[in-house]
């Protein structure tokens, strides 16, 4: 069942049903509200209390009987804005505490993980991890970059190409460098574009090896991206594995020539 907008902004199913019942009934007793909302009386008092605390309901006592009514729907904006402020405060607190949390993580010793991502969204999620581990002055390395044509029939709108063009601008703005070794059949215009981006140097592989995968190497991580109709990315977080792939990259880079 599709969630209502009330549930999407944080109300429980019972709270959403009760609020809608209050809108339909106007000022009413708990008996009428329980029947209209389909919520048991034992739970209704708790729900009404929560709605009042959220600023979405109010009550009035008439002749010893308590009646409840909904606050006008426009007030939902106020509730949502309050949630935004709470999230922003949590984000600030997280940023303040993240260094100490990362320090605890590092002190726990070596962490080895293998994670698989699938599809275009998965590929983007995997690449976003570079920004979690790299900062200004750091470099990532890409080995065996294919030409774009293999993607064209799978991505007729060119979203893949646009994503990487935008991401390289983001990378440069963050002060992160990259070195890229493209397959020998890659279009020269693509290498020219990459070399025109700040802090990026692209070259052709020194030998004609073409595989259905390319490798991104940084810090303790190797990301293996398999090219297919639904891309598959295998992320390996292991210092020894990353060092091994980096050694291969360095040797190929040493034998390659600057792009002209």
Q: Which fold has domain 5-76?
A: Arc Repressor Mutant, subunit A (1.10.10)
Give CATH 1.10.10.10 domain extents, the chain.
5-76
Report the relative pairing of strands 213-218 and 200-204 from DSSP bridges: unpaired
What is the Cα–Cα distance from 164 to 183, expressed in whole angstroms?
A: 17
pLDDT score recorded for residue 172: 95
pLDDT score recorded for residue 230: 79
**C-alpha distances in angstroms, 29 versus 41, 66, 166?**
11, 6, 57
At the fourth CATH level, the homologous superfamily of domain 111-255 is: Endonuclease Chain A (3.30.870.10)
pLDDT score recorded for residue 147: 80
Across the chain, which has 260 residues, the per-10-residue mean pLDDT values are: 74 91 92 92 92 90 87 87 88 87 68 84 91 95 81 59 87 96 92 94 93 91 87 92 96 95
pLDDT score recorded for residue 111: 58
Give CATH 3.30.870.10 domain extents, the chain.
111-255
Question: Which residues make Cβ contacts (< 8 Å) with residue 48, sequence separation at least 6?
Answer: 18, 30, 33, 57, 59, 68
What is the Cα–Cα distance from 228 to 208, expressed in whole angstroms?
A: 21
pLDDT score recorded for residue 1: 41
């Amino acid at each position: 069942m599709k969630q209502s907008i009330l549930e999407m902004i944080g109300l429980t199913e019972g709270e959403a049903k009760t609020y809608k019942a209050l809108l339909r009934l106007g000022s009413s007793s708990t008996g009428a509200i329980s029947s209209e909302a389909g919520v048991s009386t034992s739970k209704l008092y708790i729900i009404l209390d929560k709605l009042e605390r959220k600023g979405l309901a109010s009550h009035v006592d008439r002749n010893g009987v308590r009646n409840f009514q909904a606050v006008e729907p426009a007030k939902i904006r106020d509730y949502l804005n309050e949630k935004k402020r709470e999230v922003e405060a949590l984000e600030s607190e997280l940023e303040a505490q993240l260094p100490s949390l990362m320090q605890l993580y590092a002190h726990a010793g070596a962490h080895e993980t293998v994670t698989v991502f699938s599809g275009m969204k998965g590929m983007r999620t995997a690449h976003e991890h570079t920004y979690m581990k790299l900062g200004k002055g750091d470099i990532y390395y890409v080995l065996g970059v294919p030409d774009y044509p293999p993607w064209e029939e799978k991505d007729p709108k060119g979203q893949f190409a646009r994503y990487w063009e935008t991401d390289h601008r983001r990378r440069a703005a963050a002060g992160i460098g990259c070195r890229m070794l493209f397959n020998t059949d890659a279009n020269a215009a693509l290498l020219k574009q990459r070399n025109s981006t700040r802090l990026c140097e692209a070259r052709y592989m020194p030998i004609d090896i073409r595989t259905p995968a390319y490798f991104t190497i940084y810090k303790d991580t190797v990301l293996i991206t398999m090219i297919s109709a639904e891309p598959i990315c295998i992320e390996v977080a292991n210092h020894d594995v990353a060092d091994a792939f980096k050694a291969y990259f360095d040797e190929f880079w040493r034998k390659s020539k600057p792009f002209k």
